[in-house]
Chain A
């Protein structure tokens, strides 16, 4: 019996050494441990063993059974590892460096700039107002202190319509409407498309975007205006901005200012793009003219406010380095499809 077990051990060792796949291993397991397997047969034969040897032989058989089971389990692990290794080494290599065919849409650059500004102003408690493009003389001029024959009307060549209306020349055309809609106190921005009847070239368009803002409350001061513009522009340009105010004339402000910022290219040292002045004229602003407040139903003795304008189109040109303003309205996807991110 002992000899028989020794033979079995030797035979098993040889056979398992030849096993190279899961199926052969299963066959081997059945051959030794199955119902009719060799180890099982040994156990069956135990009853023929004299009683006094049964314990010893039984231990031997159990030992060989454990030995076979362990060897098969170990072999199974080895085969699984080998199969995974083969799956890895035999895998196809995919190439992520190939150009993508996934398509992306694009936003108009004005939308991108406008959204950024809207987010900044919304965070500062400003409402965002929409307004018509076709307006009346009253909205565009009279209500913002530009009466008939005012020279400011010459500065803005207006497209007039056959029904007596006009295409708005400035976002200020919305001031009166917004004042009447909300009254004071008031914080609002109103981006919009404006139109001027002038010849177009790389720097001039008859159709362009502006954004205007107003803040009206009791005791709004010039000091507040300067603080606000500095804070707001630092947000817009994402860096600390120095501002400088000069007197500027706009019929709807008193006093009115031209606001310069430190040249973004040279930081104020002076360079060709700021004509060596270190300053860049950026936006008009000012304290809202009492006549404009009054016309908007707000008592100028009780409330004061400031207003400012930003050229969205110009800002987009500065932000993205667009050289020709006409590219914005030309619908050329080779230009516009580049603005794919939010």
Chain B
């Protein structure tokens, strides 16, 4: 929003104050100022003059040779404007002057001397009109500096609209002026108004509010015999500087009052609107707003009607059918207050937001409607004294906000601020901002002014903000807290996340990536992954992204595929969230998962798969001192997993995740010439696993014996951990370790060689001492279909 310092000056005496410093304080105490714009300070030496004669330029069709009467003499001027005529009063930039920073000198234009320049409004920066010269119609003596008559000089500051979201009172100059007055410690002048009590006996306007939930108040008045249709220059300049555009007197006046007080107004042509009903309709119907756009009006949208006929969308925009036209001389003036939520609904249904609606949606002060009407009249009568009020000020006040009274004590302020702000400062600040304050002992009782009471200030903490922001946060003495220190442990989840990342990055040179929580169906399809059915996002940016992911892997596979040019092998991982459908209570079953994908153009798929196994093993050994089991043949959970080479990763029969190669349908689409494998662990389930204690065993000081035994068994079919368990069960007290030291797959049948390590803590074992254990192991193996291999 653009704020004019001249306008603020109507209400606060700014003399002797540094305007920029004041604007800076406004940023620190009220709302962010985004820009400061200076108008007219680079224009000087421009006077009111009259065109005394006009001759065509002999060498140009466009140019004219003018004699300009500057009040003392006639000077020559070559002018290219189309609207020159004798007797026209213009803004004439004299030699040595400047227009918007451009110096004016004596010049020869197409062979003729020109001693100045006639200016358009655009050249002076007071409007966008560049169609011709600015014709001055006010009765001003020739030779008068235009700055003596017109407010061309002004400092404008732009306030960030977002920072005014919670301050309905700051959507007009008067509210800003109240802040400035408080900051400058100067009095705020009242708004000049026209007293309407004198019209009390005139006929009232038929106004009805059918929907008091959506309309707090509607104030109307009829005026006729308005003979003037163009706004005064100074009003037009202010409107232009503040980002508006002059249209005609009545439209300009409604805009002016809105920009001054923040109260939107609407002027209906009295020929088309002489009664008002505020209501909604049960059925949708078409309606054209005055910007010429057609809309379908929804039953939720509040409308203004006259004798049943819709004439405006309440609080948003008038209808084309009741617009003020150039020949309008009588009007019905609306000054109303609508519910913020209702207006926001209308905006949403119409898909439009206007200067009026963006104010209403903040919940404006209903007390303003009458003030705004009276302000409008005061301005109107100053411009068009022949205008005549022909109705009473008809005021239907359907619903009121409660008066809010808050109490607090000095201790509350001290505790909240941590500094000392005196009682006098508190009273002075709140009073300047319009709060009514009474103090009894230590207790302050504060009545919130109507313009802050619509939803902005409701509790005593809100008053802390008023007191402290005016006090100035830069003036705060800053202090540390005195809270006692208590030791803080990191959560298991936090430690796990960090540790897992460290292991993967430092030990396996994997790269951490981030991906979206939804599936990318197009990318899935490109890899031959059938899009899964899962919880959907109702308003996804695109239908391709409307389904949440249940596994980390498909997105990571896309990344693996997209990085093929990065290197001939790499691994990536992410700890992220997935959703595995809904829980019994209807909420999403959100899981935190670690996904790992390895890609390699050189290594075999088997080697890569075993590497994934090693990584998972490492993570469990490192983080929980447990060795998980890898259960094969347990089936697949996702269609992209390989039905043969998918293994469930479990600890104590609880599945934590899986490792897998890819289904050939996916593997070949991803990269025919490279291997790609995946692993996924549920970090939430991992967190529930208590770490095993490290079981320390003193190493034996005596040499042990290693015995290698080769069994006739298919290495693909055995489950090593099962065999080891069986061997341990019968291997006696000296069996200390079982490993596999050779795997043979050949024409004469496959075999696996196990190495059994025996040792004793207190002696050197003899072969005879371990022979019973070996015999028992051989028997057990034979019983389980794994006979000793004979050559």
Contact = CB atoms under 8 A, between A and B. Distances in A.
Interface string A133-153: 110100000000000010110
Contacts of A154: 344
Contact of B341 (A149, A222, A254, A289): A149
Contact of A128 (B469, B494, B511, B563): B494
User: Which of B479, B504, B558 lies at the interface centre, i.e. has the most chain A CB atoms within 10 A of its CB?
Assistant: B479
B512 to A, nearest CB: 4
B355 to A, nearest CB: 16
A246 B488 contact: no
Interface string A195-225: 1010100000011000000010101111110
Contact of B588 (A134, A207, A249): A134
Interface in B470-526: 473-474, 476-483, 485-486, 488-491, 493-494, 498, 501, 504-506, 508-517
Interface in B391-412: none
A199 B479 CA distance: 42
A255 B469 contact: yes
B462 A254 contact: yes
A163 B588 contact: yes
A29 B509 CA distance: 60
A197 B541 CA distance: 7
B517 A199 contact: no
A226 interface: yes
User: Which of B167, B513, B567, B572 lies at the interface centre, i.e. has the most chain A CB atoms within 10 A of its CB?
Assistant: B513
Given A161-B535, A197-B539, A222-B418, A207 B570 contact: no
B465 A331 contact: no
Contact of A149 (B31, B344, B559): B344
A195 B517 contact: yes
Contact of B362 (A151, A206, A300): A151
Interface stretch (B55-63, B427-435, B579-587, B706-714): B579-587
A160 B546 CA distance: 10
B31 A215 contact: no
Contact of A107 (B489, B512, B538): B512
A110 interface: yes
Interface string B163-187: 1011100000000000000000000
A290 B459 CA distance: 9
A104 B558 contact: no
B602 interface: no
Contacts of B556: 331
A162 B588 contact: no
B461 A108 contact: no
A332 B479 contact: no
A129 interface: yes
A122 interface: yes
Nearest to A149: B341
Interface string A242-257: 0011111100001111
Contacts of B574: 108
Given A111-B512, A151-B361, A197-B539, A125 B478 contact: no
Nearest to B538: A160
A223 B419 CA distance: 7
Contacts of A50: none
Given A108-B514, A287-B464, A217 B541 contact: no
Given A127-B491, A254-B461, A304-B415, A329 B515 contact: yes
A333 B566 contact: yes
Contact of A165 (B362, B512, B516, B588): B588
A337 interface: yes
A151 B340 CA distance: 9
Contacts of A115: 498
Contacts of A289: 461
A130 interface: yes
Contacts of A206: 541
A327 to B, nearest CB: 10
Given A254-B464, A331-B559, A227 B479 contact: yes
Contact of B577 (A134, A220, A291, A328): A134
B537 interface: yes
A163 B586 contact: yes
B476 A223 contact: yes
B29 interface: yes
A119 to B, nearest CB: 10
Interface string A319-337: 0000000001101111011
Given A107-B505, A127-B488, A249-B166, A334 B480 contact: no
B517 A248 contact: no
B391 to A, nearest CB: 35
A332 B511 contact: no
A219 B772 CA distance: 76
User: Which of A152, A193, A231 lies at the interface centre, i.e. has the most chain B CB atoms within 10 A of its CB?
Assistant: A193
Given A247-B30, A247-B465, 20 more contacts: A103-B509, A107-B501, A108-B512, A118-B494, A129-B491, A130-B491, A132-B590, A133-B590, A151-B361, A162-B536, A163-B586, A222-B464, A249-B166, A254-B459, A254-B462, A254-B464, A289-B461, A304-B416, A333-B511, A336-B512
12 contacts: A122-B488, A134-B548, A215-B481, A227-B478, A245-B28, A249-B166, A289-B461, A328-B514, A331-B556, A334-B566, A337-B511, A337-B566
Interface of B: 27-32, 162-163, 165-167, 340-341, 344, 361-362, 415-419, 459, 461-462, 464-465, 468-469, 473-474, 476-483, 485-486, 488-491, 493-494, 498, 501, 504-506, 508-517, 535-541, 548, 555-556, 558-559, 562-563, 566-567, 570-572, 574, 577, 579, 582, 586-588, 590, 592
